[in-house]
Amino acid sequence: MKLALTFVLALATSAFTQNNASPVQSQAACGPLDATQAAPGQSTAQLQPGKALVYVAEDFRKAPGEIGNPTLRVGMDGAWVGATRANSYLSFTVEPGEHHLCTSWQSRWQRLSKLAAFAGFTAEPGKVYYFRERITYSSYGGGSATMNLDLEPVYPDEGQFLVASDRPITSRPK
C-alpha cells in the first residue's frame, strides 16, 4: 500500500513538469477557462449536408492505485465544445476548413489543470473525423513518473471501435 501511495504521489508531483500549457495559452487555443460539466447522455450530432462530423473519444485506463475519473474539456477554434469523462465520447458538426482542437484536464488541482494537448485538421464536407484523448503515464530513471495528455486523430475503424465501446456524453457550462 505504501508503495502504491508513493507511486501516486510521484505521478502527481511530476505531472507539473510535463506537457504544461499555461492558462493563457490554453484559453487562446481552446476557449475561456470557465468549467464544463460532463454527464452521461445521448449523442445528438449527425452528419449534416455541407458539414463534417467530429467524434472525440476519451480512452482512459487508471494507473495502479489511482482513484477518480478525469473530466477532459474539448475545445475547437477558441471555444469549448464539451467535455468527456472516463471512457465516454462527444460528437459535433463543423464547417469545412481548417480547425484546431484541444483538450485539457479539468481539475481542482492546478498541476493537472495545466495539462493540455492539441491537434489540427482540415474538415471536408461529408467526412467523419475521429480523435482520441488519452492520459498516459511514463516512468524515467530513478522512479520518477509523469502524466501526459494526448489528443490524436485515429483511423475510422479504430474511431468507430472507440465510439462503440464508450458511452455518449453531454456537457454543459458549470
Pairwise CA distance, residues 24 & 30, whole Å:
10
CA distance 26 to 116: 7
Predicted confidence (pLDDT) at residue 38 exceeds the cutoff of 50: no
The 10s digit of each residue's pLDDT in 106-127 is 766 666 667 889 999 999 999 9
Is 156's pLDDT higher than 70? Answer: yes
Average pLDDT over residues 2-18: 35
Inter-residue contact 61 to 165 (CB < 8 Å): no
pLDDT of res. 75: 93
| pTM beyond cutoff 0.75 | no
Among 22-31, 89-98, 145-154, the range with the most confident prediction by mean pLDDT is 89-98
Distances (CA, A) of 97 to 40, 50, 100, 120, 159: 30, 11, 10, 11, 21
